């Protein structure tokens, strides 16, 4: 008798597992998967963004002392030139390699514009100097 109850519960458990797996497979069929073109474009954007960040960190913050890029006025200087070149590069890569550039451009420009706005709002009399992660740390510690 106990063997019969055990066999019945085992059959019931196997049926529930089969039903669960069928549900998973049905949901998996509903999921839209990216095509090869989308995968290539997104991979390229991630690789290029990682390279840009790596080069940025190597050039700007690769040494112990952050660089002092000072200019005689607040409007124009090497730090601002670097920011503008970075903005132009991001715009070009976003429009060239992805079809959703209307979304990518504001997302990629938001941190750069935030840093510029904070610098000119928090320290408007100070020239753009030491543009790097150490400079951003110093900016937020004021």
**Domain check: are 22 and 90 in the same one?**
no
**Domain check: are 116 and 64 in the same one?**
yes
**Domain check: are 50 and 13 in the same one?**
no
Total domain count, the chain: 2
**Domain check: are 59 and 5 in the same one?**
no
Question: Can you give the pLDDT at residue 21?
Answer: 94
**Domain check: are 23 and 49 in the same one?**
no
**Domain check: are 7 and 73 in the same one?**
no
**Domain check: are 88 and 119 in the same one?**
yes
Question: Can you give the pLDDT at residue 127?
Answer: 46
Question: Can you give the pLDDT at residue 25?
Answer: 92
**Domain check: are 59 and 23 in the same one?**
no
DSSP labels, the chain: -HHHHHHHHHHHHHHHHHHHHHHHHHHHHHSPPP-HHHHHHHHHHHHHHHHHHHHHHHHHSSSSSPP----SSSS--HHHHHHHHHHHHHHHHHHHH-S-HHHHHHHHHHHHHHHHHHHHHH-TTS-S-S-SHHHHHHHHH-
**Domain check: are 106 and 61 in the same one?**
yes
The alpha carbon of 5 is separated from its chain's Cα centroid by a whole number of angstroms, namely: 56
For residue 13, the enclosing domain spans 1-31
- From residue 139, alpha-carbon distances to 13, 87, 135 in Å are 61, 21, 6
**Domain check: are 24 and 7 in the same one?**
yes
**Domain check: are 18 and 47 in the same one?**
no
Question: Can you give the pLDDT at residue 60?
Answer: 64
Instruction: For the chain of 142 residues, list the mean pLDDT of each consecutive stretch of 10.
Output: 74 91 92 88 89 76 55 57 75 74 73 68 56 58 56
**Domain check: are 100 and 117 in the same one?**
yes
């Amino acid at each position: 008798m106990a063997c019969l109850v055990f066999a019945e519960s085992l059959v019931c458990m196997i049926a529930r597992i089969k039903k669960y797996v069928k549900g998973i497979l049905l949901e998996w069929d509903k999921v839209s998967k990216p095509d090869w073109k989308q995968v290539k474009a997104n991979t390229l954007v991630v690789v290029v963004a990682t390279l840009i960040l790596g080069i940025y960190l190597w050039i700007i913050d690769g040494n112990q002392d952050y660089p002092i890029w000072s200019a005689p006025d607040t409007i124009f200087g090497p730090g601002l030139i670097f920011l503008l070149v970075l903005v132009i590069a991001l715009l070009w890569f976003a429009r060239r390699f992805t079809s959703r550039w209307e979304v990518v451009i504001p997302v990629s420009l938001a941190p750069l514009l935030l840093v510029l706005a904070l610098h000119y709002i928090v320290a408007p009399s100070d020239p753009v100097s030491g543009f790097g992660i150490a400079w951003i740390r110093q900016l937020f510690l004021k």
